[in-house]
Amino acid sequence: MADQNQGDQQGDPLLFNKIAAAGLTVLLLVFGLPQLAKAIIGGGHHKKGEELHLAYCCVDLEIASHGAGGDEEPAFDLATALASANPASGERRSAICASCHTFEKGGADGTGPHLWDIVGREVGGVAGYGYTAALQSAGGVWTYERLDAYIKNSQEYLPGTAMVQRFPRDAQRVDILAYLGTLSDNPVPFPEPAVVAAPEEEGLLEEAAEAVEGAVEDAGNPVEEAVETVEDAIDGQ
């Protein structure tokens, strides 16, 4: 009988290792779950775009604190960009336009019409200048938004125009637009930046909690599994 018991104990040389590992798993989960709950319910403040990493069992969750797509560049907003634009830089950049346009008050028309009071002026509105049919039929006035689209790629924005110019870089265009805005005795104000409503913190916490809950359900119940492992190991002694 003693030999049989000794043989049973030697049947699984990793038995005690399994029991120890299972017990350690239970302890880690018991002490780790409160920290996980603290991170979700009130674990501090996170800056916009900062990611909160939550690890549960073998599941790695990446939850953006203020929306997904933290690596994506924010969309270009002309009004916001104009608020910090540099007119002096725009004046230097617009030197390339001097071969066709004049900028001073009372300046003559050249290959292109003069640009004094361009912002707010009727499109194709300089008397005596020979505009293309495309500009004559465009209608409306030159707003900052329309000028931005026009100098970004004139041929794409207004097919048929005689001007062939492209300023694809946003920073260059806003500086030029800021400078053009100064060419007036009564400058047109920049457009107001759009007000972006901040997401509700409560809604973000609910989304994070739901994500963790779903991950836990997908991963099973590791505490219960660990306890069952310990019980099975003891029963197998």
Q: Which CATH number fits the domain that encloses residue 114? A: 1.10.760.10
Is residue 192 situated within a structural domain? no
Does some domain include residue 211? Answer: yes
Q: Do 68 and 82 share a structural domain?
A: no
Q: Which residue has the higher pLDDT, 204 or 169?
A: 169
Residues 208, 156 share a domain: no
Do 83 and 175 belong together in one domain? yes
Task: Answer whether 179's CB lies under 8 Å from 90's CB.
Answer: yes
Residue 56, strand partner residues = 59
User: Taking the chain, what is the end-to-end CA distance rounded to the nearest angstrom?
Assistant: 15
Residue 139 lies in a domain: yes
Instruction: Mark whether 67 and 126 lie in a shared domain.
Output: no
Domain of 144, in residue numbers: 78-181
pLDDT tens sequence across 13-57: 666 666 666 666 666 665 665 565 555 545 444 444 443 333 333
pLDDT tier at 194 (50, 70, 90 boundaries)?
confident
Domain for residue 145, yes or no? yes
State whether 64 and 96 are in the same domain.
no
The pLDDT tens digits of the residues spanning 54-86 come to 333 333 333 344 444 555 667 889 999 999 999
Q: Is 205 a domain residue?
A: yes
| Position 11 in a domain | yes
Question: 41 with 56, same domain?
Answer: yes
Place of tokens 């689209």: 149
| Residue 190, domain member (yes or no) | no
Considering the domain architecture, whether residues 93 and 44 belong to the same structural domain is answered as no
Contact 157, 88 (CB under 8 A): no
Same domain as 172, residue 84: yes
The amino acid that residue 4 corresponds to is Q
Residues 4-38: b if buried by 16+ CB within 10 A, e if exposed = eeeeeeeeeeebeeebeebeebbeebeeeeeebee
Mean pLDDT of the 77-105 span: 94
Instruction: Tell me the CA distances in angstroms from 59 to 179, 204, 205, one per residue in order.
Output: 53, 20, 19
| Total domain count, the chain | 2
Distance CA 213, CA 48 (A): 24
Q: Are residues 56 and 89 in the same domain?
A: no
Together in a domain, 103 and 8: no
| Token pair for 182 | 């100064």
